Amino acid sequence: MHEQRGERQRLRTTDRFGECQTVPVHELALLSSVVKAVENACSAAGSSEVKVVALRVGALSGAMPAALDWAWPLAVAGSVAEGAELVLEEVPAAVWCPACDTEREIDAFYTWQCPGCGQPTADLVRGREFLVSYVELEVPDHL
């Protein structure tokens, strides 16, 4: 069963104690793609075990780090990444201000203006990232 909460769609499920839980569907879908990429990396490396998966998550990426962390065990269940640690590096959003000739961090209420000098700027230089930064694999000695 699906339900809407704000702008996020969630899947209702039950936990191991039979209690109703909601799963962040958006983050679960993102992590499913990450798991596929990790499985491909494992296959290419001749590995069957993942120790760590590290993600860079931008403040404006649309992914919520807490929801990613919560959905991780569900996303990796039954995969080579089951039991792997998830490391999240949160990347703050920043713009380039040509008037200040510098990069400035912005918050969620960014108004297309440099927070330092107030000049208009729309040059977002970081904060939209959602990528795998590294994966630690257990590789057999014979390879």
For residue 57, count other CB atoms closer than 10 A to its CB: 21
pLDDT digits 0-9 by tens, 2-14: 444 444 444 455 5
For residue 15, count other CB atoms closer than 10 A to its CB: 8
d(C-alpha 143, C-alpha 140), whole Å: 6
Q: What is the mean pLDDT of each run of 10 residues along the chain (143 residues)?
A: 44 51 79 96 91 97 93 95 97 95 89 91 93 92 63
d(C-alpha 32, C-alpha 38), whole Å: 10
Report the side by side order of strands in the sheet with 8-14: 2-5, 8-14, 20-24
CATH topology of domain 2-90+129-137: hypothetical protein PF0899 fold (3.30.2320)
Position 48 scores a pLDDT of 86
pLDDT digits 0-9 by tens, 91-101: 999 999 999 99
pTM summary value? 0.78
Position 27 scores a pLDDT of 93
